[in-house]
C-alpha cells in the first residue's frame, strides 16, 4: 500500500496563497524582525499602564488589608475567586489545542497552537495571582508548600481541594511551559539563523544548539508526544480540581456531581473564545491571514458550539436534578439563581453561553469574522457570569436568612481584575515580538496536504480519490489472499 | 469482497445462542421464588418478587444494547460533522449498529407495557399508593417527583426521544446507501446527511440524559446524581467500541474490511483507551464528591454497593479501568489485533457488568421494601453477581445484536465508494 496521502475534495485549505516553504519562513518571522508598528506601541503602552494600575491595586490591598474589598461574612468569595476560575478556564484551550489535537493528529491545530499555548501560560499566571492576593498577607503563601518543615507538626491540609489546586495548577503551569518551549526550539533556531550580532547570540542561547538534524527531530517528536500525553490528563485535572473546590462542600448549588466534566467543558469553551478574540486581531495586525485562515476560525467555532451545548446540557441537568432531588435547599438555590437578586447574572450566563452560541450551527455565521469576534467576547462575558452565579449568587443566600447579603465589588477589586488584563496583554504583546506567533516548523509539515495549491475544489482532479480507493482495495485483497 | 454475505453457518450459530439466551431469560422468570421473606422494621414480612430477576435482566440488556446503538449513531454523527476522514471505511458497521435502536424501541414497549399493567416492580414510583397522601405506602419524596416519574411521561419520553433517533437514523442510512449509487463526485447526499447529523447531536445530547434518568436512575427512585447520565453514556460508548473491535477482527478474518487496517484499529484503540479513562473519570468524580460531602441520602447508594456487593463494586473498576488502562497505554498494543481484541472482550463484558452493578442492587431493594431489608437478605442469586442464567441471557442478546448487524451489513456495500472521505480512510496512516 502506498502511503501518499489522498485528501478528500471536501477538506478545506489550511494554508492559502500558494505558499512555498520559504514564504512560510519569511511571513511568520517578519513580525519579530521589524521595528514594532505604531499600533503595537500604542497597545503596549496601554497594556503596561493598565498593568501598572493593577499592581497599584494589589499593593493597596496588601498595604491597607483585605478590608478594602467588599467581601463580607456571608459572601466570602467574590470577584477574586470568580476571576481566578475565569482565567484558569481560559488557559484550557491552549492545552486542548496543543496536546489533545496533537494526539488526534488534527492538522488545523498548527495554525493556532503556538499563540494558544502562550495564552495558556499567561492566563494561568493571571489566575494564580488571585488566591495569593486573597490571602491578604502575601507571605502566607509560604504555608501552601508542603515540605519537611520547621513548623513542627503543622502541615498543610492534605484533605482540602484548595491544596490540591495548588499542586494541580503548579504542575499544569510547569508542563504547559515545557510543552510551549519545546515547540519553540526549532523556530527559535530559525530566527537565530536569520539574525546577526547580539540578537543572534540571544537566539543561539535560547535555541539550545538546535541544528535540525534527523536525531533532533526524532527526539523532538517523541518529547512532544510524551508531553501531550502528560498534558492531557493534567488539563482535565486542573479544572476538575477547581470544581472540587465547590463540589466537595455541602453548599446547595455547589455540591453536584456533574461539576467536574462541566467545568472542563466550560473552560475549553471560554478558552476557545479567548483564542478567537486574540487570533482574529493577531492575524489582521501581523498579516497572517494565510496561516490563520477562515477554516481555522470555523473549526474553532465548531468547538465553541460543541462546548456551548455541553455546558447547556449540564446547566439544564443541574437545574432539573435540583428539582428532582426534592431537597428544598437545593431547589431554592436554583430558584434563587434564576429569579433572585442576581437574576441578571443567570440570564447573562444562559444567554451568552447556551442560547446565543447556537447560531454557530449555521455555516454562514461560523465563517463570519465580525460576528465571531463579537461572539467570542460575549462568551467570555457569559463564562465570567457563570462563575459569578456559582460563587456570589449561591453565597448571598445561605441557610440563615438573617445573614443574607448583597455584594458589589470596590474599585480595588475591579482594579485588580482590570490589571490582570494588563498583565495578560503585556506578556502577549511581548511574545509577538520575540517569537514566531505561528509554529513555523509545524505549519511546514502540513503544507503538502493542506496548502492551497494542493487541495480544494480547484485541485480536485489532482486526487482522484475514488479510483485510488478501489485500487487500494484491490491491492489489499491481493495481499490478504497470499 | 465489498458485499457481505451472511452465511448459513453464522446464522445457525447465532440462532443457537439466541435460543440459549431466550431459554435462560425465560428460566429467570420461573426459577425465582414468587415470594421471599424479609425483615422490615423489625418484623418478618412476606413480599412478592414480581419476577424481578427476569425483569431486571431484561431491562439491563435492553438498555445496554439500545444505549450502544445510540452511541453508535451519536459517534457517527460526531465523526462526520468533525471531518473525521479515517472513519468512512467502517461507517456501514456503525450504521448497522445504530439501526438496532428500532429493535430496542420495540423491546422498550414491553417494559412500558409492564409499567402500565404492573407486570413488574422495577420502579417503586409506579407502585400503588406511593403518591397518595392517604395511603399507608405514601412516599413524600416520590410524590414530589411524580411529575417526572409517572407512566405517562415514561411512555411519552421513550416514544418521542427514541422515535426521533430511529427516524433520523433511517434517514441517514437511506441517504448513505443512495450515495453509493449516485453520480461520482456528487456530494449532495453527504451534505444532506450532515444536516441530519447536526440535528441529531443536540437532540441526542439533551434527550439521552432524560431517558437514562427514567429508565435506569429511577430504579433507585430516591437517589439522584447529576453525573449519572454522562457516566452511563460513557459506559455505552466503551461497550460499543469494544463490540466494534471484536466485530472488525472477525469480519477481517473472513476477508471483509481489508482496508480497515491496524491504523484504524489504533484510532479505535485510542478511543477505547480514552473513553475507558473518561468513564473512570466520571465514576471517580461521582463517587469522590458523594463520599467527601458525606450526605446520607447520597452515600447510601455507594454504601450499599461497596459493602454488600464488593465484587461488583471493585470488579467493575478492574474490568473497566485497570485492565484497559494498563494494557492499552502502549501504542503497540492498540495495533496488535490479539491484544486489543482481548481488551475489547474484557471491556465489552465489563460494561455489561457495569449495567448489572447499576441496576441490580436497586432492583433487590425494590422487592425487599427497604435498604435494610435488602441488606439483611445477603447474597441473592441473580442480584449479587451475574449467574449462569444472566450470562446466558447476555450471550443471547449479543447474538441477536450481531445477527441484526450482519443482516443490515448484507443490505449494502461494505465500502461506501462514493463517500467523499473514503480515499482518506483507505490510506489512513498513523505513526
Q: Compute the distance between CA of residue B95 and CA of residue A301 in angstroms, rounded to an integer.
A: 27
Q: Dihedrals φ, ψ of A15, to 5°?
A: -130, 115
Model confidence at A37: pLDDT above 80? yes
Nearest CA in chain A to B144: A326
Q: Which residues of B touch A468 (CB under 8 A)?
A: 423, 426-427
Mean per-residue pLDDT, A115-136: 92
The answer to whether B180 touches B418, Cβ cutoff 8 Å, is yes
Q: Do A257 and B190 touch (CB under 8 A)?
A: no
Q: How far apart are the first and last CA of chain B?
A: 28
What SS3 class is residue A19? coil
Smallest Cα distance from B215 to chain A, Å: 15
Would you state the cell numbers that stand for residue A253, as one nine-digit string? 448549588
Q: Compute the distance between CA of residue A186 and CA of residue B355 in angstroms, rounded to an integer.
A: 50
Residue B294's contacts (CB-CB under 8 Å, 6 or more residues apart) are: none
pTM of the model: 0.93
Residue A8's contacts (CB-CB under 8 Å, 6 or more residues apart) are: A465, B83, B85, B420, B421, B423, B424
- Residue among B185, B227, B422 whose CB faces A469 most closely: B422
Q: Do B423 and A466 touch (CB under 8 A)?
A: yes
Q: Do A258 and B85 touch (CB under 8 A)?
A: no
What percent of chain B shows pLDDT beyond 90?
A: 82
Q: Compute the distance between CA of residue A50 and CA of residue A55 in angstroms, rounded to an integer.
A: 9
The answer to whether A462 touches A19, Cβ cutoff 8 Å, is no
Contact of B249 with chain A, judged by CB distance below 8 Å, is answered with: no
Contact of B180 with chain A, judged by CB distance below 8 Å, is answered with: no
What SS3 class is residue B43? strand
Contact of A39 with chain B, judged by CB distance below 8 Å, is answered with: no
Q: Compute the distance between CA of residue B353 and CA of residue B408 in angstroms, rounded to an integer.
A: 27
DSSP A397-436: S-S-GGG-------HHHHHHHHHHHHHHHHHHHHHHHHS-
Q: Which residues of A touch B220 (CB under 8 A)?
A: none
Mean per-residue pLDDT, B245-251: 96
Mean per-residue pLDDT, B139-162: 95
- CA dist A209 → A114, A180, A200, A442 (Å): 21, 17, 12, 19
Q: What is the pLDDT of residue A320?
A: 96
Give pLDDT tens digits for A247-285: 999 999 999 999 999 999 999 999 999 999 999 999 998
Nearest CA in chain B to A307: B202
Q: Which of A258, A251, A404 is nearest to A317 (CA)?
A: A258
Q: Compute the distance between CA of residue B254 and CA of residue B400 in angstroms, rounded to an integer.
A: 20
Q: What is the pLDDT of residue A468?
A: 47
Smallest Cα distance from B415 to chain A, Å: 9
* Residue B138 exposure: Cα atoms within 13 Å on the Cβ side: 7
Q: Do A261 and B190 touch (CB under 8 A)?
A: no
Q: Do B270 and A103 touch (CB under 8 A)?
A: yes
Would you state the cell numbers that stand for residue A328, as one nine-digit string? 428544598
Model confidence at A424: pLDDT above 60? yes
- Residue among A3, A10, A255 whose CB faces B187 most closely: A10
Q: What is the interface size between A and B, counted as CB pairs within 8 Å?
A: 147
Give B249 or B186, the one with higher predicted confidence: B249
- Helices marked H in B259-387: 262-293, 296-303, 310-317, 323-328, 331-335, 337-368, 371-377
Model confidence at A469: pLDDT above 50? no
Task: Match 448583597 to its residue by C-alpha cell.
Answer: A406
The DSSP output letter for A13 is P
- Residue among A321, A326, A469 whose CB faces B426 most closely: A469
Q: Do B184 and A466 touch (CB under 8 A)?
A: yes
Q: Do A473 and B198 touch (CB under 8 A)?
A: no
Smallest Cα distance from A241 to chain B, Å: 10
Residue B238's contacts (CB-CB under 8 Å, 6 or more residues apart) are: B272, B275, B276, B279, B320, B347, B350, B351
Q: Compute the distance between CA of residue A77 and CA of residue A71 in angstroms, rounded to an integer.
A: 7
If phi over 0 gives left and psi between -120 and 50 gives alpha, with beta otherwise, what is residue B20? Answer: alpha
- Residue among B228, B259, B282 whose CB faces A473 most closely: B259
Segments of B184-283 assigned E as strands? none
The answer to whether A132 touches A58, Cβ cutoff 8 Å, is no
Give A306 or A98, the one with higher predicted confidence: A306
Q: Compute the distance between CA of residue B349 and CA of residue B397 in angstroms, rounded to an integer.
A: 12
Give A156 or A87, the one with higher predicted confidence: A87
User: What is the overall mean pLDDT for chain B?
Assistant: 94
- Residue among B85, B141, B427 whose CB faces A3 most closely: B427
Confidence of residue A139 (pLDDT cuts 50, 70, 90): confident
Q: What residues form DSSP beta bridges with A15?
A: A451
Q: Do A468 and B205 touch (CB under 8 A)?
A: no
Q: Compute the distance between CA of residue B121 and CA of residue B366 in angstroms, rounded to an integer.
A: 7
ipTM for the complex? 0.93
Mean per-residue pLDDT, A177-183: 92
Q: What is the pLDDT of residue A375?
A: 94
Q: Do B281 and A325 touch (CB under 8 A)?
A: no
Contact of A470 with chain B, judged by CB distance below 8 Å, is answered with: yes
Contact of A469 with chain B, judged by CB distance below 8 Å, is answered with: yes
Model confidence at A472: pLDDT above 60? no
Q: What is the pLDDT of residue A456?
A: 57
Q: Compute the distance between CA of residue B29 and CA of residue B273 in angstroms, rounded to an integer.
A: 37
What SS3 class is residue B431? coil
Task: Match 496563497 to its residue by C-alpha cell.
Answer: A17
Q: How far apart are the first and last CA of chain A?
A: 15
Residue B283's contacts (CB-CB under 8 Å, 6 or more residues apart) are: B231, B317, B321
Confidence of residue B228 (pLDDT cuts 50, 70, 90): very high
Which H or E element spans position B37? strand B35-40
Q: How many residues are given for chain B? A: 431
Give pLDDT tens digits for B6-60: 999 999 999 999 999 999 999 999 999 888 888 887 888 888 889 999 999 999 9
Q: Compute the distance between CA of residue A390 and CA of residue A246 in angstroms, rounded to an integer.
A: 9
Contacts of the segment B377-386: beta carbons below 8 A, 24+ positions apart: B377/B36, B377/B38, B381/B53, B382/B28, B382/B32, B382/B53, B382/B56, B382/B57, B383/B53, B383/B56, B384/B308, B384/B309, B384/B311, B384/B312, B384/B360, B385/B309, B385/B311, B385/B312, B386/B353, B386/B356
Q: Compute the distance between CA of residue B211 and CA of residue A313 in angstroms, rounded to an integer.
A: 14
Q: What is the pLDDT of residue A198?
A: 94
Contact of B314 with chain A, judged by CB distance below 8 Å, is answered with: no
Would you state the cell numbers that stand for residue B352, as one nine-digit string? 455489561
The answer to whether A184 touches A435, Cβ cutoff 8 Å, is yes
Would you state the cell numbers that stand for residue A400, as one nine-digit string? 440563615
Task: Match 448487524 to its residue by C-alpha cell.
Answer: B405
The answer to whether B203 touches B219, Cβ cutoff 8 Å, is no
CA dihedral of residues B37, B39, B45, B49 (deg, nearest 10)? -50
Model confidence at A192: pLDDT above 90? yes
Smallest Cα distance from B292 to chain A, Å: 6
Give B350 or B380, the one with higher predicted confidence: B350
Confidence of residue A345 (pLDDT cuts 50, 70, 90): very high
Smallest Cα distance from B196 to chain A, Å: 12
Model confidence at B231: pLDDT above 80? yes
Contact of A248 with chain B, judged by CB distance below 8 Å, is answered with: yes
Mean per-residue pLDDT, A173-191: 93
Give pLDDT tens digits for A45-80: 999 999 999 999 999 999 999 999 999 889 999 999
Smallest Cα distance from B360 to chain A, Å: 22
Model confidence at B386: pLDDT above 90? yes
Q: Compute the distance between CA of residue B400 and CA of residue B393 in angstroms, rounded to an integer.
A: 11
Which H or E element spans position B39? strand B35-40
Model confidence at A463: pLDDT above 70? no
Q: Which residues of A touch B258 (CB under 8 A)?
A: 473, 476-477, 479-480
Smallest Cα distance from A316 to chain B, Å: 9
Q: Which residues of B touch A327 (CB under 8 A)?
A: 297
Q: Which residues of A touch B255 (CB under 8 A)?
A: 477, 480-481
Q: Which residues of B touch A479 (CB under 8 A)?
A: 258
Q: Do B1 and A477 touch (CB under 8 A)?
A: yes
Q: Do A302 and B82 touch (CB under 8 A)?
A: yes
Q: Compute the distance between CA of residue A390 and CA of residue A404 in angstroms, rounded to an integer.
A: 16
- Residue among B201, B286, B293 whose CB faces A250 most closely: B293
Would you state the cell numbers that stand for residue B67, as one nine-digit string? 444505549
The answer to whether B4 touches B402, Cβ cutoff 8 Å, is no
Nearest CA in chain A to B83: A11
Q: What is the pLDDT of residue A155?
A: 81
Model confidence at A465: pLDDT above 50? no
Contact of B226 with chain A, judged by CB distance below 8 Å, is answered with: yes
Contact of B185 with chain A, judged by CB distance below 8 Å, is answered with: yes
Q: Within the 53-112 window of chain A, which residues sit less than 8 Å (CB to CB) from chain B?
A: 103-105
Mean per-residue pLDDT, B361-385: 90
The answer to whether A331 touches A49, Cβ cutoff 8 Å, is no
Contact of B2 with chain A, judged by CB distance below 8 Å, is answered with: yes
Q: What is the pLDDT of residue A461?
A: 42
Q: Which of B17, B57, B71, B100 is nearest to B352 (CA)?
A: B57
- Residue among B292, B293, B424 whose CB faces A7 most closely: B424
Gyration radius of chain A's alpha carbons: 25
Q: Do A248 and B224 touch (CB under 8 A)?
A: no
Confidence of residue B389 (pLDDT cuts 50, 70, 90): very high
Q: Compute the distance between CA of residue A318 and CA of residue B118 in angstroms, rounded to an integer.
A: 31
Contact of B282 with chain A, judged by CB distance below 8 Å, is answered with: yes
Q: Compute the distance between CA of residue B214 and CA of residue B208 in angstroms, rounded to an integer.
A: 10
If phi over 0 gives left and psi between -120 and 50 gives alpha, with beta otherwise, what is residue A368? Answer: beta
- Residue among A313, A324, A479 whose CB faces B206 most closely: A313
Which of A96, A465, A466, A479 best probes binding to B when mutated, by most B CB atoms within 10 angstroms? A465
Nearest CA in chain B to A250: B293
Mean per-residue pLDDT, B292-303: 92
Q: What is the pLDDT of residue B431?
A: 66
Residue A254's contacts (CB-CB under 8 Å, 6 or more residues apart) are: A246, A247, A390, A394
Q: Within the 309-368 window of chain A, which residues sit less than 8 Å (CB to CB) from chain B?
A: 309-310, 312-314, 316-318, 321, 324-327, 361
Amino acid at each position: 500500500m502506498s502511503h501518499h496521502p489522498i485528501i478528500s475534495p471536501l477538506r478545506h485549505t489550511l494554508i492559502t496563497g500558494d505558499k512555498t516553504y520559504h514564504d512560510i519562513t519569511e511571513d511568520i518571522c517578519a513580525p519579530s524582525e521589524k521595528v514594532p508598528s505604531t499600533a503595537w506601541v500604542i497597545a503596549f503602552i496601554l497594556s503596561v499602564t493598565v498593568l501598572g494600575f493593577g499592581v497599584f491595586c494589589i499593593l493597596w490591598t496588601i498595604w491597607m488589608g483585605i478590608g478594602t474589598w467588599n467581601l463580607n461574612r456571608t459572601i466570602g468569595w467574590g470577584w477574586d475567586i470568580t476571576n481566578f476560575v475565569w482565567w484558569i478556564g481560559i488557559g484550557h484551550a491552549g492545552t486542548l489545542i496543543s496536546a489533545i489535537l496533537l494526539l488526534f493528529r488534527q492538522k488545523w491545530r498548527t495554525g493556532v497552537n503556538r499563540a494558544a499555548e502562550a495564552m495558556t501560560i499567561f492566563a494561568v499566571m493571571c489566575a494564580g495571582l488571585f488566591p495569593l492576593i486573597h490571602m491578604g498577607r502575601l507571605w502566607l503563601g509560604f504555608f501552601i508548600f508542603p515540605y519537611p518543615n520547621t513548623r513542627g507538626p503543622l502541615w498543610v491540609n492534605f484533605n482540602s481541594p484548595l491544596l490540591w489546586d495548588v499542586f494541580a495548577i503548579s504542575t499544569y503551569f510547569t508542563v504547559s511551559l515545557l510543552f510551549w518551549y519545546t515547540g519553540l526550539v526549532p523556530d527559535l533556531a530559525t530566527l537565530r539563523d536569520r539574525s546577526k550580532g547580539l540578537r543572534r547570540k540571544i537566539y543561539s542561547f535560547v535555541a539550545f544548539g538546535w541544528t535540525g538534524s534527523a536525531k533532533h527531530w526524532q527526539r523532538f517528536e517523541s518529547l512532544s508526544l510524551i508531553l501531550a500525553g502528560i498534558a492531557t490528563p493534567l488539563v482535565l485535572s486542573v479544572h476538575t480540581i477547581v470544581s472540587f473546590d465547590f463540589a466537595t462542600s455541602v453548599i446547595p448549588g455547589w455540591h453536584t456531581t456533574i461539576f467536574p466534566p462541566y467545568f472542563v467543558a466550560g473552560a475549553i469553551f471560554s478558552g476557545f473564545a479567548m483564542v478567537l478574540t486574540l487570533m482574529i486581531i493577531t492575524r489582521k495586525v501581523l498579516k497572517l491571514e494565510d496561516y490563520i485562515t477562515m477554516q481555522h476560525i470555523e473549526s474553532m467555532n465548531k468547538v465553541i458550539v460543541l462546548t456551548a451545548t455541553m455546558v447547556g446540557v449540564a446547566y439544564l441537568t443541574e437545574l432539573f436534578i435540583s428539582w428532582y432531588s426534592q431537597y428544598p435547599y437545593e431547589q431554592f438555590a436554583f430558584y434563587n439563581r434564576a429569579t433572585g437578586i442576581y437574576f441578571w447574572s443567570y440570564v447573562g450566563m444562559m444567554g451568552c453561553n447556551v442560547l446565543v452560541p447556537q447560531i454557530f450551527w449555521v455555516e454562514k455565521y461560523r465563517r463570519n469574522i465580525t460576528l465571531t469576534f463579537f461572539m467570542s467576547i460575549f462568551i467570555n462575558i457569559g463564562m465570567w457570569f457563570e462563575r459569578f452565579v456559582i460563587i456570589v449568587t449561591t453565597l448571598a443566600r445561605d441557610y440563615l436568612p438573617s445573614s443574607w447579603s448583597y455584594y458589589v465589588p470596590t474599585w480595588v477589586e475591579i482594579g485588580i481584575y482590570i490589571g490582570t488584563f494588563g498583565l495578560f496583554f503585556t506578556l502577549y504583546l511581548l511574545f509577538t515580538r520575540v517569537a514566531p506567533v505561528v509554529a513555523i516548523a509545524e505549519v511546514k509539515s502540513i503544507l503538502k496536504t493542506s496548502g492551497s495549491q494542493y487541495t480544494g475544489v480547484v485541485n480536485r482532479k489532482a486526487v482522484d480519490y475514488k479510483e485510488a480507493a478501489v485500487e487500494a482495495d484491490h491491492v489489499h485483497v491481493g495481499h490478504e489472499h497470499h | 469482497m465489498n458485499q457481505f454475505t451472511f452465511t448459513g453457518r453464522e446464522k445457525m450459530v447465532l440462532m443457537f445462542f439466541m435460543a440459549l439466551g431466550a431459554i435462560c431469560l425465560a428460566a429467570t422468570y420461573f426459577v425465582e421464588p414468587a415470594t421471599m421473606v424479609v425483615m422490615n422494621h423489625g418484623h418478618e414480612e412476606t413480599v412478592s418478587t414480581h419476577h424481578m430477576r427476569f425483569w431486571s435482566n431484561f431491562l439491563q440488556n435492553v438498555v445496554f444494547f439500545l444505549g450502544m446503538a445510540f452511541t453508535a449513531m451519536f459517534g457517527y454523527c460526531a465523526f462526520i460533522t468533525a471531518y473525521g476522514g479515517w472513519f468512512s471505511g467502517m461507517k456501514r458497521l456503525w450504521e448497522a449498529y445504530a439501526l438496532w435502536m428500532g429493535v430496542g424501541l420495540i423491546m422498550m414497549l414491553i417494559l412500558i407495557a409492564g409499567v402500565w399493567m404492573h407486570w413488574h416492580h422495577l420502579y417503586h414510583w409506579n407502585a400503588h399508593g406511593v403518591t397518595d397522601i392517604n395511603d399507608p405506602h405514601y412516599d413524600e419524596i416520590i410524590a414530589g417527583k411524580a411529575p417526572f416519574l409517572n407512566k405517562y411521561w415514561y411512555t411519552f419520553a421513550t416514544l418521542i426521544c427514541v422515535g426521533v433517533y430511529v427516524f433520523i437514523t433511517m434517514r441517514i442510512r437511506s441517504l448513505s446507501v443512495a450515495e453509493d449509487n449516485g453520480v461520482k463526485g456528487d456530494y449532495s447526499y453527504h451534505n444532506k446527511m450532515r444536516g441530519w447529523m447536526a440535528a441529531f447531536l443536540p437532540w441526542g445530547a439533551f434527550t439521552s440524559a432524560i431517558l437514562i434518568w427514567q429508565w435506569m436512575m429511577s430504579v433507585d427512585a430516591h437517589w439522584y446524581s447529576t453525573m449519572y447520565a454522562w457516566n452511563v453514556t460513557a459506559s455505552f460508548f466503551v461497550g460499543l467500541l469494544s463490540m466494534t473491535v471484536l466485530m472488525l477482527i472477525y469480519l477481517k478474518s473472513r476477508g471483509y474490511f481489508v482496508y480497515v487496517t491496524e491504523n484504524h484499529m489504533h484510532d479505535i484503540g485510542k478511543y477505547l483507551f480514552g473513553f475507558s479513562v473518561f468513564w473512570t473519570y466520571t465514576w471517580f468524580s461521582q463517587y469522590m464528591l458523594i463520599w467527601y460531602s458525606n450526605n446520607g441520602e447520597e452515600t447510601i447508594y455507594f454504601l450499599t454497593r461497596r459493602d454488600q456487593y464488593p465484587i461488583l463494586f471493585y470488579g467493575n473498576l478492574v474490568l473497566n479501568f485497570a485492565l484497559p488502562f494498563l494494557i492499552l497505554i502502549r501504542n503497540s498494543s492498540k495495533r496488535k489485533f490479539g491484544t486489543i481484541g482481548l481488551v475489547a472482550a474484557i471491556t465489552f463484558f465489563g460494561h455489561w457488568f457495569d449495567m448489572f452493578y447499576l441496576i441490580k442492587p436497586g432492583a433487590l431493594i425494590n422487592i425487599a421494601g427497604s435498604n435494610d431489608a435488602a441488606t439483611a437478605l445477603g447474597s441473592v442469586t441473580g442480584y449479587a453477581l451475574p449467574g449462569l442464567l444472566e450470562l446466558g441471557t447476555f450471550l443471547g442478546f449479543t447474538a441477536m445484536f450481531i445477527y441484526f448487524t450482519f443482516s443490515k451489513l448484507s443490505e449494502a456495500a461494505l465500502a461506501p465508494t462514493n463517500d467523499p472521505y473514503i480515499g482518506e480512510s483507505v490510506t489512513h496512516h498513523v505513526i
